[in-house]
Chain A
Amino acid sequence: MMIQWDAETVIKMAAYAGAGLCMGLGAIGAALGEGYTAGQANEAVSRKPELSGEVFKTMLVGQAMAESAAIFALVVAMLLLFVNFPTHSWLFAMSSLSAGLCMGLGAFGSSIGSGFPAGAACQGTTHQPAMGGRLMTTMLIGSAVCQTPAIFAMVVSFILLFSNFSAQPFNPAWAALLGAGLATGFAAIGPGIGGGLVARAACDGVARNPERAGPVTNIMLLGQAVSQTTAIYGVLISFVLIFRNNEATTLIAPSAALLAAGLCMGFGAFGPGLGLGVVAQNAVKWISRSEAGTGDITRLMLVGMAVTESTGIYALVISLLLIFVV
């Protein structure tokens, strides 16, 4: 029997492939993050067995937070499996595949990242049992902000799933849609992990020096917010790629440029995201230890972050040039 290669079959195929990739890739990070948390919890309990109830509670809440990005991936995968997409344009095949890739890759960093503060909170509970509540709050805030890159990936995959692309010409538009998914997907990895490093330092700091909990939480939020900047550049490039008006062409070069723009921003965001996280991690660490230099450390952190971010801005500029000039 011959396989019918009509639009409906190809779109279904792409949706299934997208669903599989989405959940498969999305499961990696969550498992790593939750495993890290559980490992730290084991270490904490071995140090103070009498606090095992507290540690167990903190571990479960932390793991639930670390799993949320994987749940976003599950939602997108379920939609890809069960929603009937319109079949009048072949572009819907590419948009379903791209949406799956975007959410799958995007869940990776945030899940690993939010495992870090949960592990540190488990350890901290045994260092300062009296500060359990405060540690839990810091951990929840830190992990919630870690989820931001995954939430961006989800917004982009929903736009890819539910926008109407039938007016677009197939040739450059397929590359634009694939590039859009890859840009946000890859761009979310580094900032997700970086934000987790900051939150881990904050949980550690609160446990070490509970009096500094207020400033530590503030600087943590600031550091996490700035380290997500490159993920936002990825979202920006995705939006430009999705909503631009493509002119029909038979050449392969314009398509290659659009795909390259997505990949450039995606990979270019990885390093700065992680690097910014490391800067903020150390700033938070030292702010939790000394009261005197808070203002100076914050200013140095922001200047250091601005310089670290510059390679992300180079990637943004090159992506925009690839889209609009080349």
Chain B
Amino acid sequence: MDDLGNIHQIIVHLGGWDLAFNFEAMVMTWTVIGLLLLFGFFAVRGRSLVPGPIQVVGELFVFHLYGLVEDTLGKERAKTYGPLICALFMFLLLCNWLGTIPHLEEPTKDLNTPLSLGILGFLVAHVSGIRAKGFKGYAKEYIEPFPFMLPLNLVGEIANVISISFRLFGNIMGGSIIILVISHLAYSLVLPPFLLAFFGLFVGTIQAFVFTMLTTVYISIQVK
């Protein structure tokens, strides 16, 4: 119970600036990246028409997520954005599932991870919007329907980033708090596996999917 809300930080002094590094979030993020690279390596090694078990899992991800992106963005744009969306979903899924293993923590429990992914999606969406419509067409949308709506439209765009990242952060953080507290109150008997299955695996999957889907939708709103 005492480690609730404790964050291990490494603080580096650099020319008058204090740079704080959240130790656990960084280590766990690199763990996830390493595991995904391993998965990718084994999935494409020895590709064949009759796929091996790991290749099947990889194909499953690619097939379903490409289908989703094609539904939202159209066939042509899916080739550009498909790999990004696939990578985003697989990264988030593994991040959210990592907490079910003892001594490991979800990197998404740290607000920095969802927020940076949210900002990434925001930048991708807006750069695609400028590329698809030209800067003039892009900027014109901010003064619609009336020019005085400009500040509210700007707040609305920034609110999108905040809502997408806080949604993921709140759910994962909330799940891990519930698991910690209920396990503590029940002396870690019987309940923890069910809580981990529900909040770790089930809610983790849903939230990874919601985040991915919202990023796709934000891109599709900008490019259309």
Contacts and interface: CB of A to CB of B under 8 A. Distances in A.
Interface of A: 72, 75, 78-79, 140-141, 144-145, 148, 151-152, 154-155, 158-159, 162-163, 215, 218, 221-222, 225-226, 228-229, 232-233, 235-236, 294-295, 299, 302, 306, 309-310, 313-314, 316-317
Given A158-B181, A162-B5, 7 more contacts: A148-B171, A158-B177, A222-B217, A225-B167, A229-B159, A232-B163, A232-B170
A225 B155 contact: no
B37 interface: no
Interface residues of B, number: 33
B210 A221 contact: yes
B203 interface: yes
Contact of B156 (A141, A158, A310): A310
A249 B171 CA distance: 36
A155 B178 CA distance: 9
A314 B159 CA distance: 12
Contacts of B174: 151-152, 154-155
Interface in B37-95: 68, 71
B156 A313 contact: yes
Given A152-B174, A154-B177, A221 B156 contact: no
30 contacts: A72-B178, A75-B178, A75-B181, A75-B182, A75-B185, A78-B185, A79-B181, A140-B202, A145-B206, A148-B167, A151-B174, A158-B5, A158-B181, A159-B5, A162-B4, A218-B68, A222-B210, A225-B210, A225-B213, A229-B159, A232-B162, A233-B162, A235-B170, A236-B162, A295-B71, A306-B156, A310-B156, A313-B152, A316-B155, A316-B159
A218 B163 CA distance: 19
B155 A144 contact: no
Contact of B203 (A144, A158, A228, A232): A144
Given A218-B213, A225-B167, A302 B221 contact: yes
A302 B220 CA distance: 11
A145 B170 CA distance: 12
Interface residue SS majority, chain B:
helix
Contacts of B163: 228-229, 232-233
Nearest to A148: B171
Interface of B: 4-5, 68, 71, 152, 155-156, 159, 162-163, 166-167, 170-171, 173-175, 177-178, 181-182, 185, 198, 202-203, 206, 209-210, 213-214, 217, 221, 224
A235 B166 contact: yes
A100 to B, nearest CB: 15
Contact of B178 (A154, A222, A302, A317): A154
Contacts of B210: 145, 221-222, 225
Contacts of A306: 156
B170 A148 contact: yes
Contacts of A232: 162-163, 166-167, 170
A221 B166 contact: no
Nearest to A295: B71
Contacts of A154: 174, 177-178
Contacts of A294: 71
A236 B178 contact: no
A148 B4 CA distance: 20
The 6 A-B residue pairs whose C-beta atoms are closest, nearest first, are: A151-B174, A232-B163, A229-B163, A232-B166, A225-B210, A152-B170
Nearest to A150: B174
